[in-house]
Amino acid sequence: MQVQTELQQLRRASVLHGNNLNQLAAAANTTGEVGIASSRVIANIDRVVAQLDERLSAVDALLARIVDRFEST
């Protein structure tokens, strides 16, 4: 259940960062300028994506071991 909890937390974080990114895009479209906050939001999004990739790789490896175990029986 720990993996599920971590993935749910990362999903929530990605939704929040997506909302922030949409707000920055709307402001940039209105003013024609990209604010300093955009680099921070993008860095946070990159961090969440990297964490998601890491956790999903772990899930993939676990599933592969489970499949191997069933195929070898």
Q: Which pLDDT tens digit goes with each residue over 5-53?
A: 988 998 899 999 889 889 999 989 999 888 888 888 889 899 999 999 9
pTM: 0.73
- Measure Cα distances from 22 to 15, 34, 42, 52 in Å: 11, 12, 11, 20
pLDDT of residue 1: 67
Q: Is the torsion defined by CA of 47, 53, 56, 62 positive or negative?
A: negative
Domain count, the chain: 1
**Structural domain range at position 31:** 2-71
Cα radius of gyration (the chain): 18
Give the H or E element holding residue 8: helix 2-31
